[in-house]
Amino acid sequence: GDTGSWWRVVDCLATVFKQEGPFDGIIGYSQGSAVAAALAAMSIAGEFEAGIRFAIVVAGYHLKEQGLHSLLGRLRAQGPLLRVPTLHFIGRADRIAPRWMNLKLAACFDEPVVIEHDG
């Protein structure tokens, strides 16, 4: 993906969090869930100053942005898992964000709560 686009999204959301917040957590669906999980990880690393205390991830998967993969690698080097509470909703029949992609993302977090449904 376009790295510049990713950082424009981050800058835009940082502005929203600053002007409209504070917010305790973040929720995202599909591509937005990937963003929510990424911002939670960035918040832990001090690279997104929003004080995100939890994330709700619906139909989630990793973003393909290289800078984000580098960040996740750095965070994992500091410890095995991202220590922010997460709730993951997974549709077993989802063909866009298959179950395995959701579980791979959930596995990045310490003690994720995973709820699966048949949809």
Task: Give the pTM.
Answer: 0.83
Q: Are 37 and 73 in contact (CB under 8 A)?
A: no
H helix intervals, the chain: 3-20, 31-44, 66-78, 99-106
Distance between CA atoms of 108 and 94, rounded to whole angstroms?
A: 20
- Who has greater pLDDT, 95 or 80? 95
Gap between the Cα atoms of 57 and 29, Å rounded: 6
More confident residue, 66 or 91: 91
- CA 87 to chain CA centroid, Å, is 11
Q: Measured between alpha carbons, how far is 86 from 108 in angstroms, rounded to an integer?
A: 10
Shortest CA distance to 57 belongs to which of 98, 94, 86? Answer: 86
Confidence class of residue 91 from pLDDT cuts 50, 70 and 90? very high
Is residue 89 over pLDDT 90?
yes
Comparison of pLDDT for 110 and 67, the residue scoring more: 110
pLDDT per residue as tens digits for the range 33-85: 888 988 988 888 788 888 889 999 999 887 776 666 676 677 667 765 678 89
Single-letter code of the amino acid located at 92: R
**Section 93-102 average pLDDT:** 90
Among residues 64, 62, 115, the alpha carbon closest in space to that of 92 is found at: 115
